[in-house]
Each structure stands twice: as C-alpha cells, then as structure tokens.
Structure 1
Amino acid sequence: MTSSPTSLDQLKIGMRARISTIDWESLDHGEACRLRHFGFDEGVAVQPLHLGPFGRDPLAVRVGRMTVAIRRNHARAVSVIPEAA
C-alpha cells in the first residue's frame, strides 16, 4: 500500500517520510539555497521532530542524519510520501 503525498508541514511529528518533490519556484533564492545546503532533495529521508513554541514555528526536521529548523511556510513547499510504520 502506497501512501499519498502530503506537504512536510502537515506530516505528524515523529512520522518518517521521503521527499517526493520540492516546489523550488515557491521559495525565494536564498531559502532554496539554504534547503539545498541542508540536504533537501528528492528521495531524501525526513522526519519532523518538534514544533516551535509560538505559532508552531519553526519546525525541527531530521534530514538524513542532520537536524535542522525550517519555517513552516518553507516546509509547505516540500512534498513527502510517508513511510509505512
């Protein structure tokens, strides 16, 4: 059974997924470069770890073996496919 894609900001905390696509056009150049440097790319494993205390921003995400903080509106540009538990 294959899960349907969802945006990274909608993924439940602790749920593992793989990046299916990233809408680079919706991000400004600096943020797109930042996400690329953090390792965001198609096929990479991601897992949201926790939310910030105010307005649920930023979102802490494990990308591969690294943990990074990104804004929820940037996480919205990342489509993921949840992995089976």
Structure 2
Amino acid sequence: MTKVTVIILFFAQARELAKLNKTTLQVPQTLFVHELRSILVEKYNLTTIGNIFILAVNEIYISDNLRITLQENDVLAVIPPISGG
C-alpha cells in the first residue's frame, strides 16, 4: 500500500481538540473519506466532533462516500460546523 504525507490544518474546535494548528501525517494514497475521517478522529482526539466535521482537500469539500487518491503534500482541512447567531 502506497502512502503519502499530507498537510493537515485544524480549525476552530478541531484545533482545540487536536491542540495543533497544523501538522503532517502519512496516510494511504487511496482510501475512502470515511476511512480518512476515522484515522483523524483516533489520532487527533476528535471523537466529540467525529461525525460532524467537514473535510476539504486542497480547498475542495469531500464527502465520506468518496474514494480519493491523495498526492504528496496535499492540504487537508478539518473544519467543524460553524455556529453563531
């Protein structure tokens, strides 16, 4: 299984839970988004927002049922739901 290193950006509550703004992670090059979500939830303590955060790769939103192929240094954004009034 080929692996690539991606850049991960954490926003809002995801940043607070992960205690990181930015990091890198080696992941399988091809996988389903729901598999990627599970990796992130486990590695970065995102359980409380695990089913509701949004993922984007290179500024394009992706849904859990997609099978994606990542490239070296792709940028993955972990975006919790926005709330406010």
TM-score by length of 2: 0.32
